[in-house]
Structure 1
Amino acid sequence: MDFSDIYQRIKFEEYDISEDERAQLTEYLISAGSISRTESHAGLLVFCYSSEPTPENVELVRKFLAKHVEDYSRSAAVTGLYRIWKLGTTRDIDNLLGLLALWSGDSRQSTSVAAIGCAFLLMHRLQDRRLSLALRRLFETLHEAVRRDNDLAVNLFIYACWSAYDNWAQSNGQRRTHFDTVENALPIYWDRSKYLLEPIN
């Protein structure tokens, strides 16, 4: 099966996968080798878009959050669980908090980008202050790493600032924008409290 082709058809053609395709996809995701293959990224997105978040399905996708899973595929599991299925249980928040804390691994960049975006999304949707606090700390840690010329942190810092603004803009009916430089990201960072939840005193 060409998972990428099916994903594009689902995304742009409102394609519904057949029961035979669903069975093949599920069998593939259950197989041991799926955790180390980049094509699992598209497979996971197809699975989440075409399936309900039943306990069995959720557990199947959660296995791709493990640290030994290929990074690109792990990022799809994050997207599937928290952006497509919009899960927000205590366990889900705990999982996201754990993923945010592991940004510095050079084999986790795709996962970190997905986790940051989903954390901002859930923070607004659930008004979750644990996520807000974790994102505030991540902002500050990434900014300090950028000041030390940590190349690994630059793109994540820019993305975190963009995601903070973008989710805030969508929540407040403001114009969305795009930027990809540290210079454009810094005003968001300096005004970061505006894009996070008020702390509980």
Structure 2
Amino acid sequence: MDFSDIYQRMKFEAYEISESERIQLTDYLKSAGSASRLESHAALLVFCYSSNPTPENVKLVRKFLGNQTEDYARCAAVTGLYRIWRLSTPSDVDDLLGLLALWSVESRYDSSLAAIGCAFLLMHRLQDRRLSVALLQLLETLHEDVRRENDLAVGLFIHACWSAYDNWALNKGQRRIHFDTIEEALPVYWDRRKYLLDAIN
């Protein structure tokens, strides 16, 4: 199966996978080598968009959060669990906080980007103070590392500032913008508490 093609058709053509395709997809995700393959990224997105978050399905996707998983596939697992299925129990938030804490591990760059975006999304949706506090700390830590010229932190810092603004704009009915430079990110950082929950301001 060409998972990328199916994912694009689902996004742009409202394509619905067949039962036969669903069985093939599930068998692929359950297979021993799937966690180490790039194509698992698209496979996981197709699976999450076309399935409900039953305990069995959630367990299958969580398999791809493991340390030995290819990071691009892990990124899709984070997106599936927290953005597509929007899992939001206290234990789900605990797991997301754990993912945020691993941002400095270079082999987790893509999944850290996904975790940051999902954390801002769920912070607003749940009005979760723990996520708000963790994201404030993350922004400040990333900024310090950017000042120390830590190349790994630069992309994460820009993405965190953009995610902070974008989710705030969505919730406040403000104009959404995209940016991808330090110069554009810094104004959001200097006013960072505005984009978090009022409870910590």
Task: Determine whether 1:152 maps to 2:152.
Answer: yes
Structure 2 portions without partners, runs of 5+: none
Please tell me the residue identity of whatever aligns with 1:185: A
Q: Deviations over 1:4-48 (max 9, x none)?
A: 000000011000101010000000101110000010000000000
Aligned CA RMSD, in angstroms, stands at 1.0
Structure 1 CA distance, aligned partners of 2:200 and 2:14?
Answer: 43
User: How far did residue 101 of structure 1 move?
Assistant: 0.5
Q: Deviations over 1:50-105 (max 9, x none)?
A: 01111100110011111211100000000001111111011210111011010111
Structure 1 length as normaliser, TM-score? Answer: 0.98
Structure 2 CA distance, aligned partners of 1:145 and 1:134?
Answer: 16
| Aligned-partner SS, 1:199 | helix
| Aligned-partner SS, 1:53 | coil
Matched with 1:14 is 14
Q: How many equivalent pairs are there?
A: 201
Matched with 2:83 is 83
User: How far did residue 177 of structure 1 move?
Assistant: 0.6
Contact 2:38 2:72 in 1 (8 A): yes
1:151-190 aligned at under 5 Å gives the runs 151-190=151-190
Percent of paired sites with the same residue:
76
User: How far did residue 178 of structure 1 move?
Assistant: 1.1
Task: Determine whether 1:54 maps to 2:49.
Answer: no
Structure 2 CA distance, aligned partners of 1:59 and 1:188?
Answer: 37
| Aligned-partner SS, 1:88 | coil
Please tell me the residue identity of whatever aligns with 2:193: S
User: How far did residue 198 of structure 1 move?
Assistant: 2.6
User: How far did residue 183 of structure 1 move?
Assistant: 1.1
Matched with 1:194 is 194
Matched with 1:39 is 39
Please tell me the residue identity of whatever aligns with 1:22: R
Matched with 2:110 is 110
Structure 1 portions without partners, runs of 5+: none
User: How far did residue 200 of structure 1 move?
Assistant: 5.7
Contact 2:45 2:76 in 1 (8 A): yes
Contact 2:133 2:200 in 1 (8 A): no
User: How far did residue 196 of structure 1 move?
Assistant: 0.5
Structure 2 length as normaliser, TM-score? Answer: 0.98
Structure 2 CA distance, aligned partners of 1:172 and 1:129?
Answer: 18
| Aligned-partner SS, 2:29 | helix
Q: Deviations over 1:141-190 (max 9, x none)?
A: 00000000000000100000000000000000000011111111111011
Structure 2 CA distance, aligned partners of 1:46 and 1:112?
Answer: 21
